Structure 1
Amino acid sequence: MTFVLKTFGSLQLVDRSGNPVAFPEKGLLLLAYLFTADQGSADRSTLARFLWGEADKGVALSTLRKVISRINARQTELGVNLLSLQANLVSLNRDSLSSDLLQPGQAEDGEPLVRLEHVVKLMNQPFLGPVNCHSREFQRWLAERESCHVEILGNTLRAASGLARSRKETELLRRAAVILFRTEPKDPDTLQMLIPIFQAEDEVEHLRDHFEKRQNSILRGIAVLDGANGGDDSSSRPAPATAKGQEAALSLEAERIRLEIPRLVLLPPKSQSIRPEAGFLAASLVEDITIGFCAFNSLQVIAPYSAVQIGHQTETQKAFFERQRVNYILDTRISNAGDEVTLFAQLIFFDQNQIVWAERFSLDHMELLKDRRAVARQIALSVSSEIERHEALREDLNPVAYHRYLVGRRHLARLTLPNLRRARKEMKAALSVSPDFAPALSSMARTYSKEWLLTARGDIELLKTAETSSRQAIEKRSDFADGYREFGVAKLLQGAFDDSAEAMEVAENLAPHYADVIADYADTLVHCSLPAMALRKIERAIELNPLAPDTYFWTAAGANYALGEFESSLDYIGQMADPSLADRLSAASCAMLGRHDKARVFVRRFREANPDFDVDKWLSAVPSKEQWHKDLYREGLKKAGF
């Protein structure tokens, strides 16, 4: 081979000595694309759509001709033929060019550890690096490539996982496992493979014992059922397996059950108290505990919004718990014990309808902080020894500050200007007695950023104040996800896309099961013009918060629109409790699908509430990193009739 196309780290052409060779960037993108195309060929129209989208087909084809002309001139200078043109077909000459592109089936018969070292070296670098291409076809191809890379890494790691004999080889497995876990942290097969690689068996010993007891109970139940069927009806049962086969099957089932991450839902408290404020504070307390648990990889927690929704639907709770694979339920109720109001909590093992722990706590506000720790710690010990490491808030936190914070949090549940200002007042009161209380600082930041959105006046000082408060929260507690989340929101609204995405990534790493953080991260990625990544994030958030608020589905609809998946965009909007909130996006999606009559219905409904709406003025205020993203939205809105 004369030349090599490098795609990891940065996109470049190098000679046989590894020296970079100048080549048009669009030409390099075409080379990479054709390496993955059938027969290494594609027609001009396909390549034009890949590089520039479908905004103007004539202009795209004309530009492609110029690019091919420059490529041919450069090939003549280099004395090589990397791309050839026959009629309408552009083809790759594989005899003159090789590539580091990872593709399925490539060298699968090679030594697994050597292959793994090669894959890890490549995937430790960004794929393509910064390239100037933002078409939907390119984004779709890029997402397919990244998915392919993950699959190749997983298969290669699986093949090599039992072969390490030295410390260097063990470290290679761990580096590969870290990369794989970052890309698919929720995949159960990945988690199962990583436990022996990281020698984490001791860390899940509590789970091992618990699920082995569960498996024994299941087997006893099967034996009872067999006995109830008479034990001799051979015509209605399959032939018995060999003892060895039975042992292997049971071993696999036990392993699956043992390694599955438990799911916990904390239901909102039922109130039997004559003091209404008790229910108000208890609901805040339970929600706060829920969010605290979201930081643990050893436990998946159903998000508070879904828990509240299902808490009021007693008829459908059982079906919901089964569908969402809930293992543990924290059931709470408020009652009076003389003059004292108490919260009774019991932890139920749903699989066997077994109460594994119960306790009663005082709701006197001076005891709330202590009770939060006690509840969190008791649940942790009952579910997994891993969660024991959960750290409560600062030991010296003033309980009055925590009480005011809980009151303020309830005002943030419904975003109106009066509620935002009530919440801000409570957070200021909390901070006046405990200035280092990070949750109050981050909540204060949220009141300012949400006020900026609601007033739509462009007051930059609100965003600067939000940024300052969130930065202070991070300084007080560097492991606090909400601080980074609110910092990311403030930066996004100021147009600092990269800073916002970086903060959101840190927030997600700190709280990998906190659905609201992941949803806000997804929204940031949409505005960063990275819709494929955004869609993966918001789908994860919806999985953790299956009765999700409308903002989740709205974000998913926006990501699909940017990917050109207009039908999927409408499907997500249809799942919103109030789909009229997304009338603009519905109109644009219908228009792009050619459903102009339906689009005009949405336009008319939106105009009734917003008669002065101006497309260009609105788009100028919406933060979007890439111009193609705004142009695509403008195209749909204009076609719809705005």
Structure 2
Amino acid sequence: MAFFLQTFGGLRLVDSESNHVAFPEKGLLILVYLLTTPSGSAYRQELATFLWSNEDKAVSLSNLRKTVSRIKTRQNELGAQFLSFTETMIYVDRGSLSSDVLSIDKEGVAEPVSQLMRLTDLLKQSFIGTVNCDSCDFDSWLAERRNHHKRLLKDSLERAAPLARTQAESEVVKDAAILLFRAEPADPDTLRFLVKIFGAEREVEDLRRFFEQRSSSISRGIDALSSAIDKKSAKILAKARAPSSDAGRSGIKAAIPRLVLLPPTNQSSRPDAGLVAASLIEDITIGFCALNSLQVIAPHSAVRIGHDMEDQVAFFENHSVTYVLDTRISSLGDEVTLFAQLIFLPDSEITWAERFGLGHLDLVRDRRVISRRIALSVSSEIERHETTRSYLELNPTAYHRYLVGRPHLNRLTLPNLRRARKEMKAALQASPDFAPALSAMARTYSKEWLLTARGDIDLLKTAETFAAQAMGARADLADGFREFGVAKLLQGAFDESAEAMELAETLGPHYADVIADHADTLVHCSRPAMALQKIERAIELNPLSPDAYLWTAAGAHYALSHFEASLDYISQMEDPSLADRLSAASWAMLDHMDKARFFVRRVREANPAFDVDRWLAAVPTKERWHKDLYREGLKKAGF
């Protein structure tokens, strides 16, 4: 049987039919590490340090011996010998399996543009996904590999760019250029190369036009989705994009929002990082002062109030502060980072968050680049948020009823769903096209489908209809697309669901609930590595995460065979009983049968008629390997 080691988009072993093949995670790391070495071999001590650090060599070597024993057992079961062992060395047999990490280094094999397309498709995905080791050697190796990939991309781009003749080939080159720019946004050589690729005669103008074309992808996505919406809703949606709909909103003149930038707290191990970040925040504040769209509290006042937590609330109220940019410096391994988040005070809502590296910051060159990025990001987010607020203020009665009903959606019980639905109906009586209430109505029906578990397709069709109406009423708000994606997912329309969720996140790039639902969709689409990246982003934006976030993270980890991590997320849930089936399967896959059977009994008590095959048939899952992995855990647990 042929085997393939996938390293981009998650680290896993698959067979010739792309089915997931269980293999020790540390064994997969040894495989990919040795495949990236010239000799294909390493000393045992080197690998022990790579996997477990060198703080205690005896413990690391003991851990390695146990891992080697598990690898040998699993290789014998598979009838394959990927790795061989001596007393001092470990070797990889490159002929025993293929891998994307091997193909990525093969130069001159394919025509340059085709090779660039293949490379771009791989590098859009995270290398080895979320697999990690608490080891400096591992961190150094991972950083070196990522730099190597950037070099490969740049070299391939330089070879392919002069050869692109057709529009399709030019798109491949431009996609690769944008990917390289995202990896090296502050590199002046990369920026010059990007400008060169995007325009021969009118370089900067063509670059600007291309990015504007990319921003219009939202409208193209709406057009693609409209075929799945009934004709009446499609007409409403087209009407919503007409210029006249914007004219009414522009007549509302909202008060200019006020922003305060609090001085950064230093939670890193480097005292000097505080001075760097403080200078950054001053630069950002000065940049904001040049804008007419918002007012900024002067740095002197911000510093004083930043150190006086007890008086902050009163200060914010007395000076009509609507937004706070909160910053902190922390350490991620050896890297020092600045974390910034924008908080809308009236709702205590985190509307934007980003992390910036400070480890190699050149104060003369890089500080203004980062400060400009923060200023532009925060300004655009405030503008988007203020536009939404103006729309809500146009419909005060509907908005009030919507706010009364929305909390009922946070606790998923049928009585709460019906209370929420009652308030949303009242909101729609006051304003029939009030998009937030239409989206919330859709959510009540899709959640009712989940809670009743009767497979009532009418509930999902009703949810889809309300979501389509919300999209038609306001095509620039994320919630309608989000609910449309949920309804389509529960009907098994994976591609339509993923497309709608992509649009929802484009419209609300810092909207934690939308990102979390997008992650859940990706789990059901059998793309757990990407789902995990998104749910971790949602948790960063919403640190006191609801159970749904943690449940999604647990499901993604299970699909990646990270069973201990899955259980860890479940243990953080306020009501972990919601995930009893997943707990039972995870414990079973870890061979803790006593714990697995405990959860089996608890599920049986709550639902005596539970049947694995019938339940899995109802749960939307795109790939067979994913469903088979869940079935294996549940059956092994005793269901």
For the structure 1 residues 254 and 448, does the alpha-carbon distance in structure 2 shift closer, same or farther, using more than 3 Å as the test?
same
2:493 counterpart of 1:499: no
Give the alignment partner of residue 386 of structure 1, picking from 377, 380, 391.
380
> How far 1:472 moved relative to its partner?
1.5
Query: What SS is found at the alignment partner of 1:518?
Result: helix
Distance 1:419 1:479 in 2: 28
Distance 1:250 1:611 in 2: 62
2:597 counterpart of 1:593: no
Q: Hey, what does 1:111 align to over in structure 2?
A: none
Distance 1:500 1:147 in 2: 34
Contact residue 452 and residue 459 of structure 1 kept, 8 A? yes
> How far 1:139 moved relative to its partner?
12
Contact residue 600 and residue 637 of structure 2 kept, 8 A? yes
**1:189-241 superposed Cα distances (whole Å, 9 cap, x missing partner):** 758989997999xxxxxxxxx999979x99xxx9xx99xxxxxxxxxxxxxxx
For the structure 1 residues 139 and 540, does the alpha-carbon distance in structure 2 shift closer, same or farther, using more than 3 Å as the test?
closer
Q: Hey, what does 2:563 align to over in structure 1?
A: 566
Distance 1:214 1:324 in 2: 12
Distance 1:195 1:252 in 2: 25
- State the one-letter code of the partner of 2:511: Y
Contact residue 484 and residue 504 of structure 1 kept, 8 A? yes
Contact residue 124 and residue 179 of structure 2 kept, 8 A? no
Query: What SS is found at the alignment partner of 2:497?
Result: helix
Query: What SS is found at the alignment partner of 1:91?
Result: helix
Q: Hey, what does 2:621 align to over in structure 1?
A: 624
> How far 1:533 moved relative to its partner?
1.5
Q: Hey, what does 2:601 align to over in structure 1?
A: 604
Distance 1:623 1:494 in 2: 7
Distance 2:143 2:461 in 1: 38
For the structure 1 residues 536 and 398, does the alpha-carbon distance in structure 2 shift closer, same or farther, using more than 3 Å as the test?
closer
Q: Hey, what does 1:319 align to over in structure 2?
A: none
2:428 counterpart of 1:431: yes
- State the one-letter code of the partner of 2:523: V
Kindly report which structure 2 residues correspond to 1:224-623, keeping only aligned pairs within 5 A, or say none: 254=279, 325=339, 384-387=378-381, 389-390=383-384, 391-392=387-388, 393-394=390-391, 397-623=394-620
- State the one-letter code of the partner of 2:555: G
For the structure 1 residues 211 and 426, does the alpha-carbon distance in structure 2 shift closer, same or farther, using more than 3 Å as the test?
closer
Distance 2:186 2:377 in 1: 18
Distance 2:505 2:174 in 1: 21
Distance 1:628 1:620 in 2: 14
For the structure 1 residues 464 and 120, does the alpha-carbon distance in structure 2 shift closer, same or farther, using more than 3 Å as the test?
same
For the structure 1 residues 527 and 388, does the alpha-carbon distance in structure 2 shift closer, same or farther, using more than 3 Å as the test?
closer
**1:387-406 superposed Cα distances (whole Å, 9 cap, x missing partner):** 45321354894322222222
- State the one-letter code of the partner of 1:386: S
For the structure 1 residues 383 and 518, does the alpha-carbon distance in structure 2 shift closer, same or farther, using more than 3 Å as the test?
closer
Contact residue 104 and residue 148 of structure 1 kept, 8 A? no
Distance 1:632 1:408 in 2: 39
2:95 counterpart of 1:91: yes
Contact residue 397 and residue 434 of structure 1 kept, 8 A? no
Query: What SS is found at the alignment partner of 1:613?
Result: coil
Contact residue 327 and residue 341 of structure 2 kept, 8 A? no
Distance 1:507 1:254 in 2: 36
For the structure 1 residues 641 and 92, does the alpha-carbon distance in structure 2 shift closer, same or farther, using more than 3 Å as the test?
closer
Q: Hey, what does 2:136 align to over in structure 1?
A: none
- State the one-letter code of the partner of 2:440: S
- State the one-letter code of the partner of 1:592: M
Contact residue 326 and residue 342 of structure 2 kept, 8 A? no
- State the one-letter code of the partner of 1:389: E
**1:146-176 superposed Cα distances (whole Å, 9 cap, x missing partner):** 9999755645689999xxxx9x9x9999754
Q: Hey, what does 1:634 align to over in structure 2?
A: 631
For the structure 1 residues 580 and 414, does the alpha-carbon distance in structure 2 shift closer, same or farther, using more than 3 Å as the test?
closer
For the structure 1 residues 411 and 180, does the alpha-carbon distance in structure 2 shift closer, same or farther, using more than 3 Å as the test?
farther
> How far 1:459 moved relative to its partner?
0.8
Distance 1:625 1:521 in 2: 15
Distance 1:139 1:331 in 2: 33
Contact residue 439 and residue 473 of structure 1 kept, 8 A? yes
Contact residue 120 and residue 175 of structure 1 kept, 8 A? no
**1:307-354 superposed Cα distances (whole Å, 9 cap, x missing partner):** xxxxxxxxxxxxxxxx99566666569xxxxxxxxx9xxxxxxxxxxx
Larger Rg: 1
Contact residue 153 and residue 180 of structure 1 kept, 8 A? no
Distance 2:326 2:103 in 1: 33
Contact residue 519 and residue 541 of structure 1 kept, 8 A? yes
Distance 1:100 1:327 in 2: 36
- State the one-letter code of the partner of 1:520: D
Distance 2:106 2:278 in 1: 31
> How far 1:605 moved relative to its partner?
2.5
> How far 1:639 moved relative to its partner?
1.3
Distance 1:153 1:535 in 2: 22
- State the one-letter code of the partner of 2:444: T
Q: Hey, what does 1:178 align to over in structure 2?
A: 178
> How far 1:604 moved relative to its partner?
2.1
Q: Hey, what does 1:310 align to over in structure 2?
A: none
Distance 1:490 1:253 in 2: 46
Query: What SS is found at the alignment partner of 1:547?
Result: coil
For the structure 1 residues 476 and 128, does the alpha-carbon distance in structure 2 shift closer, same or farther, using more than 3 Å as the test?
closer
Distance 2:280 2:562 in 1: 39
**1:341-398 superposed Cα distances (whole Å, 9 cap, x missing partner):** xx9xxxxxxxxxxxxxxxxxxxxxxxxxxxxxxxxxxxx9999543453213548943
Distance 2:345 2:391 in 1: 27
Kindly report which structure 2 residues correspond to 1:59-208, keeping only aligned pairs within 5 A, or say none: 91=95, 103=104, 121-123=117-119, 125=121, 152=148, 154-155=150-151, 175-176=175-176, 178-179=178-179
Distance 1:301 1:551 in 2: 27
Contact residue 427 and residue 443 of structure 1 kept, 8 A? yes
Q: What percentage of residue pairs aligned between the two structures are identical?
A: 52
Query: What SS is found at the alignment partner of 2:433?
Result: coil
For the structure 1 residues 325 and 608, does the alpha-carbon distance in structure 2 shift closer, same or farther, using more than 3 Å as the test?
same
> How far 1:540 moved relative to its partner?
1.5
For the structure 1 residues 172 and 524, does the alpha-carbon distance in structure 2 shift closer, same or farther, using more than 3 Å as the test?
closer
> How far 1:412 moved relative to its partner?
1.7
Length, aligned pairs only: 424
Question: Could you list the runs of 5+ residues in structure 1 that have no partner in the other structure?
Answer: 1-6, 8-23, 43-53, 65-87, 108-114, 130-136, 141-145, 201-209, 227-245, 273-285, 294-298, 303-322, 334-342, 344-379
Distance 1:250 1:177 in 2: 35
> How far 1:489 moved relative to its partner?
0.4
Contact residue 263 and residue 281 of structure 2 kept, 8 A? no
Distance 1:584 1:158 in 2: 47
Distance 1:89 1:213 in 2: 56
Contact residue 120 and residue 176 of structure 2 kept, 8 A? no
Contact residue 467 and residue 480 of structure 2 kept, 8 A? yes
Query: What SS is found at the alignment partner of 2:95?
Result: strand
Superposition TM-score, scaled by structure 2 size? 0.52
Contact residue 115 and residue 156 of structure 2 kept, 8 A? no
> How far 1:640 moved relative to its partner?
1.2
Distance 1:584 1:419 in 2: 24
